Structure 1
């Protein structure tokens, strides 16, 4: 793990140096790809590829001799590294990330000393990842998927009741006194166990979770086989087991609240009131453009999204306590 981290750090620093040299089109890319070995081979390349190669060669020739030497030396070092393919891909990814930044932000990063630049890149990537995952958690399922998730969660809780109870007992003491008191006030044991897991998920290590629930991946696969393609796409955007676990549990929490407060069975009068009093002009225009057979379903989805954002998880993502009391039934 240490060697992997060192390689990553080395490659990122290398990219930073090279992007500083040529910020708009990294020259190292021409060195890291296969060059034609003969004029005959070059002549068989598509005209577009030949033009790209010529542009890269021109840019390379415009560099100073010291920069050319550094690039050639770097290329030789890279080719000797056993992980050169992985490192090249990492470099490409980081270069694309840098080029995707706003111009002012990219220039600010490039202007930093090398070590400061590395720290700043790590910080920005971490912030972007947290923001991306928060957006992912806020992705809303439609009512059909919520119903499927609710049934799946009920079955999972029933099957794993012993382990859920054991885990809930262990993690309760890690929660704040306020949350513990509110959980203790829930008379229904099944609901209390469920809400304890929801409230403490961020504090549970993934290793602990898989030890407690060794069939979790199989259970999740079963859920994925029954939800809609759009819901599966949301799941696939989660990076790693921990994000996937948190996403599934957020779905389960949403589904629990939707059924608990009867949001799935909202009547037409409530929908009309919601349309007239709460829906934004933009969303109203979107709904009005839909075919008649899609109108009500879209309105119901929006009804669930508007001002009905479950907030139990929000305390776990660095935003501070949410406004109001947590929606524990």
Structure 2
């Protein structure tokens, strides 16, 4: 299955907010769907910088660099957005977007080890040029920590039983082997869901430090935006969406007074204004079932003091 960009037009249109010029960032290039549409709507003076860790995504991006001089790809996590852009002389930008989660090519290629639908080596690394594979990590992690990861990142109620079975199995070489171990250990599966879905999600999130990267990315992206600049982020599961929702809520809420009880004007601490929250349309879900769980949250920078 080829990669279909989720909430494509909604995200790019929200990011631009009616503009057609500026400096923009795609924090998760993937196969470039959002970036290409963004470039098509921008004038010749604009710039787009994109980030990705996946070597295959970087190869696609390198080709786009050759085709369009307005585009630059950066081999790094979007968590490093501020440092990477500052090193290139970019201090502020007009918009930052990110499409979180795993791309269709990553899921569909058995050798990447993300999915139990196709048997392959148990890898799960988005940047498979460095770090531990899932198979190596499962050998090193202790049972209690593994159970906590499966419970926290997979929201799996049977995490302790599953962790015990995984550790008892020794070295697990393939995705199908891990899926079968979880399936046998799991006493009650959800309707229309494989028994290993939540466990695979949890291990993938841990291997790639996905939630840690989101926590690091959001404040850095906000720091890069000048007044009127927009942040547009697509998430696919409740853990990611909760982080984005709480961040926007915190940054768009006026701070309380200092508690002295004296009448005074509240200190203006807001840095964001909520713009929108969007779900995929019924038509998009029909064409691309993976968009069913997607949420797009959009916010706009206010009270930037650097201008």
TM-score of the pair, normalised by structure 1: 0.21
More helix by share: 1
More strand by share: 2
TM-score of the pair, normalised by structure 2: 0.22
